[in-house]
């Protein structure tokens, strides 16, 4: 009986730790610190109950397969939907949009926080309860459906996050660091290592999603070895998504390797970025 209880407690702990930063990643974080890179972390964003709901909801898969009842592509500017450009031929023929006013190319990082006039886009709720920019909803659903058809099981564990929410989380963490004996400056610096400074996270845009394998929900480098990530890494571009923080681009993105964070940029741009093995920063620099 005792064993059963211990086993159950272990299982519950495992579930609660889903989508959490791990000691392994924290080590990586420290290594990266020397390179002046920041970490865009999602660990403290999700509540355990959200994750349990996600895992526990048997309806989840079916509901995400259903066609979205109302798509809102029409609401945006006419040029917005690059995914509808029909034949993207060779790379040189792809129409490269200017970075200005391109909603799908909006940059948010430590160097370029969101502009002051940034407005939260129309959001659409996923079956998991997470929200995304309504303009990426359809492509995201297609990607998840096709992944499942290919025999892998990705699930979303984080998506849109408001600046206010991020600020609350950030301040809570700073308070904890101060409680543990740090002065304010050090507390803020330590917090910025594990939680993106409010206004600099791509999750504010509604264009970023964290996707993990249903059988391995930890946010660490091992995520890259899961069947879901192996599929996503070579197929996500077809749906307009890029793996945003590759392993060998830390010096450019300023973010540690995150083999779970996907960013929507539209199909043409995603294809160009995938084929050239570059980052969004490099793409924008070149255009």
List residues with catalytic annotation: 258
Closest CB to Zn ion among 42 and 271? 42
Scanning 88-96, 105-113, 205-213, 220-228 for contacts with Zn ion by CB under 5 A, the matching segment is 205-213
Q: Which residues of 203-223 are buried (b: 16+ CB within 10 A; e: fewer)?
A: bbbbbbbbbbbbeebbbbbeb
210 binds Zn ion (CB under 5 A): yes
User: Do the Cβ atoms of 60 and 154 come closer than 8 Å?
Assistant: no
Stretch that binds Zn ion, among 105-113, 172-180, 245-253, 259-267 (CB under 5 A): 259-267
| Of residues 148, 202, 193, the one with CA closest to residue 170 | 193
Kindly state the number of chain residues that form the binding site for Zn ion, as judged by CB under 5 A: 3
Name which of 97 and 121 has its Cβ closer to Zn ion: 121
> Would you say 82 or 204 has its CB closer to Zn ion?
204
CB of 196 to Zn ion, least distance (A): 9
User: Which residues touch 37 (CB under 8 Å, ≥6 apart)?
Assistant: 250, 251, 254, 255, 256
Smaller CB separation from Zn ion, 42 or 249 = 42
Interacting stretch for Zn ion, rule CB under 5 A, among 10-18, 72-80, 165-173, 207-215?
A: 207-215
Q: Which of 161, 173, 261, 267 binds Zn ion (CB under 5 A)?
A: 261
Binding to Zn ion by residue 46, rule CB under 5 A? no
Contact criterion met (CB below 8 Å) for 201 and 45: no
CB of 255 to Zn ion, least distance (A): 9
H-only helix segments in 195-279: 227-235, 250-253, 267-276
Closest CA to 128 of 195, 63, 184: 63
- Minimum Å gap between C-beta 216 and Zn ion is 16
Distance CA 187, CA 39 (A): 15
Instruction: Tell me how far apart the alpha carbons of residues 85 and 88 are, in angstroms, rounded to a whole number.
Output: 7
Q: How far is the CB of 45 from Zn ion (least distance, A)?
A: 9
Q: Does 161 bind Zn ion (CB under 5 A)?
A: no
Q: Which residue, 81 or 202, is less far from Zn ion as judged by CB? A: 202
Cα distance between residue 53 and residue 59, in whole Å: 10
Residues at the interface with Zn ion (CB under 5 A): 42, 210, 261
């Amino acid at each position: 009986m005792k064993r059963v209880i211990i086993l159950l407690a272990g299982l519950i702990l495992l579930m609660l730790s889903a989508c959490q930063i791990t000691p392994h990643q924290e080590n990586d974080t420290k290594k990266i610190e020397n390179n002046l890179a920041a970490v865009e972390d999602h660990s403290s964003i999700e509540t355990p109950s959200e994750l349990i709901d996600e895992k526990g909801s048997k309806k989840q898969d079916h509901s995400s397969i259903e066609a979205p009842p109302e798509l809102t592509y029409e609401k945006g500017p006419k040029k917005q939907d690059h995914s509808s450009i029909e034949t993207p031929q060779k790379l040189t023929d792809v129409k490269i949009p200017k970075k200005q006013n391109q909603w799908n190319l909006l940059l948010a990082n430590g160097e370029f926080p969101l502009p002051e006039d940034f407005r939260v886009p129309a959001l659409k709720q996923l079956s998991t309860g997470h929200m995304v920019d309504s303009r990426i909803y359809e492509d995201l659903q297609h990607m998840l459906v096709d992944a499942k058809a290919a025999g892998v099981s990705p699930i979303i564990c984080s998506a849109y996050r408001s600046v206010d929410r991020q600020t609350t989380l950030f301040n809570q963490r700073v308070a904890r660091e101060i409680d543990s004996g740090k002065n304010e400056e050090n507390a803020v610096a330590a917090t910025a290592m594990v939680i993106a400074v409010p206004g600099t996270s791509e999750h504010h845009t509604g264009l970023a999603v964290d996707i993990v394998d249903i059988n391995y929900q930890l946010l660490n480098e091992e995520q890259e070895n899961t069947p879901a990530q192996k599929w996503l890494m070579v197929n996500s571009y077809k749906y307009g998504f890029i793996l945003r923080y590759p392993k060998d681009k830390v010096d450019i993105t300023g973010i540690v390797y995150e083999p779970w964070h996907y960013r929507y940029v539209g199909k043409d741009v995603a294809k160009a970025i995938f084929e050239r093995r570059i980052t969004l920063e490099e793409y924008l620099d070149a255009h």
